[in-house]
A and B are shown apart, each in its own frame.
Chain A
């Protein structure tokens, strides 16, 4: 035990909570991130959960982790490795220790390191710390015993008591970081407003964990202080990417004055969008859990024809099945938002893990010439903006749009400044003007090249759309070669003309020796890599793409400006290949990794330094 506790000031720290899937690690992590955010820290979280719903208790495959990164300035990632590791059992220590820094403080529940626990975690000796060669500070605390003692008079049954173990660990972590328990108490009272007994028990256990730390100094040399510096004033909430996507869709529907329709089929890691939207019937949101992915998309096409803001949500395997109905929306020129929350592939691949391997599928995975805008959200909170803009483009340009996110940003969270819908751009679909009655045909176009939208119910605008090629003028089925060539070009031009913001160059935009290029969910890691390299004196810039199709107008100019360019992505080079196809003579370095895990900033820096 240290004699004197030093308070160590840090710019950022990462805490990893780990335990059995049922140990409530995510809840503990979320509460810690929220209490940190409340005092003005920036936050970024990421859950790392197993594919099995409930692997055997205490087993190596049943461990789930939840990492929280808090910082005095902006934090872009959940952190490569953690400064504090909470391991609620032996299996958690065994599998999660690799995510701990050599200087990290480790908190374990010694009650879950008994002989049986060690056997399940496949330890060979009775001293797991020595066996793993751990030299870190270890707070070895009989958490289970202490929780039971603490709740002895509560009248709770033992099983209910054990559910509070996570709160003891949270209390201990709160002590380490000097967090105000009153804020947590308020959060719990709100969360369990209908079960005051549960709230009280949890609060009591958190306090016990905190007191344990304070009384014993918990075998550590220091506690931490994370200042709050750069946060824009305003009201914030913690939001996960999938929820932010759902909110973006809701916001766009409200702005456009349309009913929001979601046709979907459950699939990891996209299902939370279906869950979230199905909750909000009081906003008039209609969700249909269809018989399959195909019907999810097909019913959305029907809903779009009938006048709704139509969305279908899925992950990569679902895109395979939806592609024919997506293509139908291309040729019928109907608005549709297709959400792809990417996971590891091919086939069912790695359902709970994250990759960027669907890019070419989303861009090109359909028969015929089938141009479709593609937008890739860059962070959990950016999912909101990306979803809003996907809806705006779909509705105003009468086209399906693919909105790409990934398991990492979908399940990760960040501090979200509450948006004011009034500040967002209007959404104006090209409804067919009433004075065109009598002269209008379905494939007449406005100045942007978009078809007009004639929603059923309007007298005098009855028309037929379909999957067969139509005559440019009459809208009748046509196999005329000139007409097909023309229609193909018109559909392409319509997409090419969509205005998207220029790609921004961050860092040393004037004199960078290396330009890092990425897209979508890797923004945080690439940004952090750039920051580290610049802090070490290198001249580095980052151009991170959110709009993939059409590409921003300044793309070629940016990519050709710097002596060295590296395209870093979580696939085998799909974006690099796409850029080569679009930008004559572009020949970048590539950094490709397909591990199903987020990039590790240190590895990026090492690789980029070698270029």
Chain B
């Protein structure tokens, strides 16, 4: 059965004009239509916050739940009903602050969820407090003199929790977003997609270096599995390994050719280089976009079902009446 974008659309989004969520919503609907899972076999589960309104605009099954619990709720839905394709949508506050514990454990268990993290580095719905991804010194309503704490870097948290999939896109980049969403769907297991998204009201410009096409051409690198890591407006730069680190080089300078440039390996089990790529930031490094890590591993939900089948085959009782008979029983006449 083929689906169209409109099969996934519902209602009129009420986000602020220009909010990154509008762009992401359109990309998600497009990706779902291309993936082709029926809207009635799809559940979109969010927590609370601006971006967590998203399920209201989807013609799928959905829940817009409570602060931080989306990953835990999605876990139950997926484990109880493995036929469902589950998309879990959270913002940076919902996913990494109040829901941080669920985020890491969903990754560790490797639940087959598509986990979207809409990162605008601010609390929007509560009107402008710093979030766990706001940079040190960030001035907000709750940090008028600047924050005195370091932020989480989502990839680091995902990898630290043994995550097997991490990808990144900019909300305004429809093609890049659709690409990683499809890759997340195709990955079996917890698949984290960090979406860099602008809040026009409380944190305008937070991702300005990569928010438009020209900026991305200059300041971002699109990683593709098996392809050399070349970037720049004229593809004039590349990434090379240097000792334990990575350096930016200019092709043609000092005799460097394409052959010297690192080739991206998203399938590599060892995440050392993938993490280095994920943590790159300006002005010295490009921001890595695309699928950074995509490694196969057994999923929790499959293992749960497999274990049930295994035990069913091994045990002799398969209903309540038979269960009773496994006990020590006596008869009163």
Contact = CB atoms under 8 A, between A and B. Distances in A.
A460 interface: yes
Contact of B76 (A281, A306, A457, A477): A306
A295 interface: yes
Given A190-B328, A236-B331, A282-B317, A303 B77 contact: yes
B72 A299 contact: yes
B229 interface: no
Contacts of B63: 302, 305, 332, 464-466
A235 B321 contact: no
A306 B84 contact: yes
A308 B72 contact: no
B69 A418 contact: no
Contacts of B323: 247, 250, 280, 283
Interface in B300-333: 304, 307-308, 310-312, 314-315, 317-321, 323-324, 327-333
Contact of B83 (A290, A457, A476): A457
Interface string A286-315: 101011101100111111111110100000
B38 A459 contact: yes
B72 A458 contact: no
Contacts of A464: 55-56, 58, 61-64
Contact of A291 (B105, B314, B317, B331): B105
A368 interface: no
Contacts of A286: 79-80, 304, 308
B80 A303 contact: yes
B330 A457 contact: no
Contact of B81 (A37, A237, A308, A459): A308
Contact of A310 (B80, B310, B329): B80
A302 B45 contact: yes
A299 B73 contact: yes
A200 interface: no
Contact of A302 (B41, B72, B310, B315): B72
A281 B308 contact: yes
Number of contact residues on B: which range applies?
35 or more
Given A250-B323, A291-B102, A233 B328 contact: no
B61 A463 contact: yes
A306 B64 contact: no
Given A306-B43, A456-B61, A462-B60, A295 B72 contact: yes
A443 interface: no
A254 B322 CA distance: 12
A37 B311 CA distance: 32
A282 B312 contact: yes
A222 B234 CA distance: 103
A232 interface: yes
B101 A459 contact: no
Nearest to B331: A235
A316 interface: no
A468 interface: yes
A389 to B, nearest CB: 16
B61 A302 contact: no
Interface in A305-330: 305-308, 310, 324-325, 328
A147 B333 CA distance: 37
B165 to A, nearest CB: 20
A456 B319 contact: no
B329 A250 contact: no
B132 interface: no
A251 interface: yes
Contacts of A477: 56
B48 A467 contact: yes
Nearest to A455: B81
A308 B308 CA distance: 16
A300 B330 CA distance: 37
Given A190-B328, A325-B69, A464-B56, A456 B43 contact: yes
A336 B312 CA distance: 26
A65 to B, nearest CB: 23
A421 interface: yes
Given A254-B319, A290-B72, A456-B43, A282 B314 contact: yes
B19 interface: no
B319 A283 contact: yes
Interface in A177-224: 187, 190
Interface centre among A250, A332, A468 (most CB of B within 10 A): A468
A238 interface: yes
A301 B63 CA distance: 10
B99 to A, nearest CB: 10
Contacts of A281: 307-308, 310-312, 315
Contacts of A187: 328
Nearest to A243: B327
B84 A456 contact: yes
Contacts of A308: 80-81
Closest 6 CB pairs of A and B: A302-B76, A299-B76, A466-B64, A303-B80, A306-B81, A282-B315
Given A228-B332, A236-B332, A298-B102, 10 more contacts: A187-B328, A247-B320, A281-B315, A282-B317, A291-B101, A295-B69, A305-B76, A456-B40, A459-B38, A464-B55
7 contacts: A236-B330, A261-B80, A283-B318, A286-B79, A290-B75, A306-B84, A310-B76
Interface of B: 11, 38-41, 43, 45, 48, 55-56, 58-67, 69, 72-81, 83-84, 101-102, 105, 304, 307-308, 310-312, 314-315, 317-321, 323-324, 327-333
